[in-house]
Amino acid sequence: MKNFISVKDVHDIEALIAQGLEYKKDPRKDESLGRNKRIGLMFFNPSMRTRLSTQLAAKNLGMDPIVLNAGSEGWTLEFTDGAIMNGTTVEHIKDAAPILGAYFDILCVRTFPKLQSQAEDESDHVIQSFIKYAKIPIVSLESATRHPLQSLADLITMTETFREKRKPKVVLTWAPHIKPIPHCVANSFTEWTQAWNQADFVVTAPKGYELSTQFTTGVQFSTDQAAALEGADYVYVKNWSSVHEYGKILGDHSDWMLTEKHLRHAPNAKVMHCLPLRRNVELSDEILDGPRSLLTQMAMNRVWSAQSVLSEILKGL
Ligand code: CP
């Protein structure tokens, strides 16, 4: 594996999941794989789980990670080719990225979309610029369009918890939020679940919240949340802003917040959310504090997801 930006970078999803579960059993089994390899983690946006789990994963593989809070402590970078830099940007990515490429063997980057222009966000220009100019393997810690380490952890979580000899029914349900939220987790979960091909998958959201077609080709979509939830084995709860009215919130849909009542026809459903979340806006206390919640397990599986990916990249260095 050269870069890890989307599921398209993965040759064998099942093998990546299985390797993650092996690391869960024996975290230090490949502790010499990353010896003398340097890994940098650049955060243009906040993080708790991604920041800590990726460092834990790197340490398990014998690496010594270095974190730069680029959004708050780094120079403001310019990404536009030919820019006359007489404004707020201080350093061009063409100048900064090759230096990071020389400092590190692997560079991990977190950057969020601005939610102002769909075309700009979908170009994923920040992460693509690092790939172009750093010339070392780049790992997405969440980009403008996707959150692949989260999605791999989600598949690891479903793999280790589903015991039936059939495909699980997996529902991605839109949840309310008080502010416009990126589409990355929903896009990525959709893309990975489709590529995995081990689940009966449906996305449900209010009209106007359909995801971008580049992620939903062949995916069942319903605006009837109750029908979609019926018989679900996994319910992935996530807010995202509108794609059609890009980056906007379309009215009040507070009744979409998942409660036990919503799951009355899904007695075995386990509930997933990537965190962070706003209690009693996105998800109810009764679910979060009850036996359906997989949230802590999912966050723990972020370590094994990152370790499995870093391991594949290290093997190719
Ligand atoms: N789920 C997730 O990416 O969490 P953080 O934003 O805290 O890293």
CA-closest residue to ligand 1 atom 3: 50
pLDDT at residue number 3: 98
pLDDT tens for each residue of 152-200: 999 999 999 999 999 999 999 999 999 999 999 999 999 999 999 999 9
Residue with tokens 């109750």: 226
pLDDT in tens, the chain (317 residues): 999 999 999 999 999 999 999 999 999 999 999 999 999 999 999 999 999 999 999 999 999 999 999 999 999 999 999 999 999 999 999 999 999 999 999 999 999 999 999 999 999 999 999 999 999 999 999 999 999 999 999 999 999 999 999 999 999 999 999 999 999 999 999 999 999 999 999 999 999 999 999 999 999 999 999 999 999 999 999 999 999 999 999 999 999 999 999 999 999 999 999 999 999 999 999 999 999 999 999 999 999 999 999 999 999 99
pLDDT of residue 41: 98
Q: What residues does ligand 1 touch, defined as CB less than 6 Å away? A: 47-51, 142, 150, 274-276
Query: Could you tell me the residue ranges of all domains in the chain?
Result: 7-146+302-315, 150-298
Cis status, amide bond into 276, omega within 30 of 0: yes
**Would you call 313 helix, strand, or coil by DSSP?**
helix
Question: Which atom in ligand 1 lies closest to the alpha carbon of residue 110?
Answer: 8
> Could you tell me which CATH number the domain at 150-298 has?
3.40.50.1370
Which of 44, 274, 294, 296 has the most ligand 1 atoms within 8 A of CB, as the residue to mutate? 274
Residue where the block lists tokens 């972020």: 302
How far, in Å, from the CA of 291 to the mean position of ligand 1?
Answer: 22
Residue to mutate (ligand 1; options 45, 275, 296, 300; most atoms within 8 A of CB): 275
Q: What pLDDT is stored for residue 19 in this prediction?
A: 98
Residue 46 CA, closest ligand 1 atom number: 6
Identify the sign of the CA torsion 45, 256, 188, 160. positive
| Amino acid letter, residue 114 | K
Nearest CA to ligand 1 atom 4: 49
Q: Which amino acid residue places its CA nearest to atom 6 of ligand 1? A: 47
Q: What is the model's pLDDT at position 73?
A: 93
292 neighbors 171 (Cβ within 8 angstroms): no
**pTM of the complete model:** 0.97
Protein residue with least CA distance to atom 7, ligand 1 = 48
Sheet strands side by side (includes 200-204): 220-222, 200-204, 169-174, 234-238, 270-272
Alpha helices (H) in the chain, listed in sequence order:
13-25, 49-60, 70-73, 93-103, 118-123, 125-134, 148-161, 184-196, 213-216, 225-229, 285-288, 295-315
Residue type, 220: Q
> Alpha-carbon distance 67 to 79, whole Å?
21
User: 269, 258 in Cβ contact below 8 A?
Assistant: no
Domain 7-146+302-315 in CATH: superfamily? Aspartate/ornithine carbamoyltransferase (3.40.50.1370)
CA distance 176 to 23: 35
Spatial CB neighbours of 2, under 8 Å, sequence gap ≥ 6: 9, 137, 313, 316
Do the first three CATH levels of 7-146+302-315 and 150-298 match, i.e. the same topology? yes
